[in-house]
Amino acid sequence: MKKLLLVTLALALMMSLAPLSFAADKEITIGALYPRSGPLALLGEESWRGAEIARMVRNQNGGINGKQIVFANGDCSDVAAARSEAERLIEKDKVGLIIGSYSSSRSMAATEVAARKGIPYFELGAIANAITERGYKTVYRTNSTAAMFSKSQVDFIVDYLAPAIGKKPKDVKVSVAHEDSDYGTSVAASFNKLAEKAGLNVVSIEPYASSSSDLSPVIFRLKKADPDVIVLVSYANDAILLGRQAAEYKLNKPFIATGGGHSLQSFAKALGKNANGILNVDFTQYDVNTKFTPGLKKFLDLYRKTYKEEPRSGHSLTNFMGANVVFDIIEKAGSLDADKIRKAAMAVDIPLGKTANGWGVKFDENGQNIRAAAFVSQWRDGKLLTVYPLGAAVTKPVLPKK
């Protein structure tokens, strides 16, 4: 009797530690880790909204293998919280897979925790290159990287801006101003490397703290460098501050931003007419060639119906697309077992232009989606209009008058 009891207890323990199987459970619980409070809450919440719409739609259509999807939500308000919340989701909520998390620094911390515990983690929005460069076999990313953003910026400067200002690429002077977290540092390093390879002349790089209350010293140094174009990498508040002070001190240069705060409606509203003409390389925005983005109109209708307002940036669309990819992978895997998830993920093969944001999906050995594109858009009277590449564009770019 005692032996039977020990065997029963051992089996129960094994079942409690085993990866989620869909045979007996009525629900599939997935961790959703986003900064929904603190300084990055606006875009963190916007990102979560996209994943939440994907969850709701999938559940309405039968869920995953007939099981309803439930999010165990975590709030990574800062890097320390990203680490502790990832631990909590895994240890207390017993999630077998996590999605998130918009912020690169938070993703770096949370993915390390998940990888150490053998839990699959799908990043749907953070772009720092290093997230998928650490050899973790349980970390994946559906969105584009800092290097992909930088490539789009360099290609745009070489293909369009240089001819437009009557210069050869080697004669184009470029400055970079970036916030100094993993996000900004990674983008700046990628841009510098690719710009050098393309023969562009990077004349200055200006890091700054995103919490700065005065960025005029950065503006004055940029004016002194006198570049032909300025690449910006900013979060929400610093994007607005930088834009206002650039206008105040008449820094009248073409700006090419890198997502973040420059993709927000609140940025355009705060700057008013001074936002017009600012270029932005980012995730797919909503004024885009819809022939290239099947499902975009349906997503917009769902967003408006669910949240009673317009999307605040393309981050919600990006996470909607990524969450749908994750759900398909889980369904094919039949469980949250890390090996089965990896096998299913590596088999995904979606061509460009076949998802709601125009991306395709194909993961490399590092878990990085190599078919995630970064498009160039431009602020015009409160709208971000896609201007590059031609297949996705709805209008041509314009440059500021000297």
Q: What pLDDT, in 10s, does the model give residues 129-139?
A: 999 999 999 99
Q: CA-CA distance, 372 to 243, in Å (whole number)?
A: 28
Query: In this predicted model, which residue has the larger pLDDT, 6 or 141?
Result: 141
What are phi and psi for residue 60, nearest 5 degrees?
-65, -25
Distances (CA, A) of 39 to 33, 48, 323, 366: 15, 15, 24, 30
CA distance 158 to 152: 10
pLDDT digits (tens, 9 = 90+) for 304-330: 999 999 999 999 999 999 999 999 999
pLDDT tens sequence across 35-61: 999 999 999 999 999 999 999 999 999
* Sheet (strand 27-34) strand order: 68-75, 27-34, 98-100, 121-123, 139-141
Q: Tell me if the pTM is above 0.75.
A: yes
DSSP secondary structure letter of residue 130? G
Report whether 399 contacts 254 (CB < 8 A).
yes
Burial class (CB in 10 A: 0-12, 13-18, 19+), 66: exposed
CB-based contact 142:372 (threshold 8 Å):
yes
Domains of the chain, CATH where assigned? 2-144+295-371 (3.40.50.2300), 147-282+376-388 (3.40.50.2300)
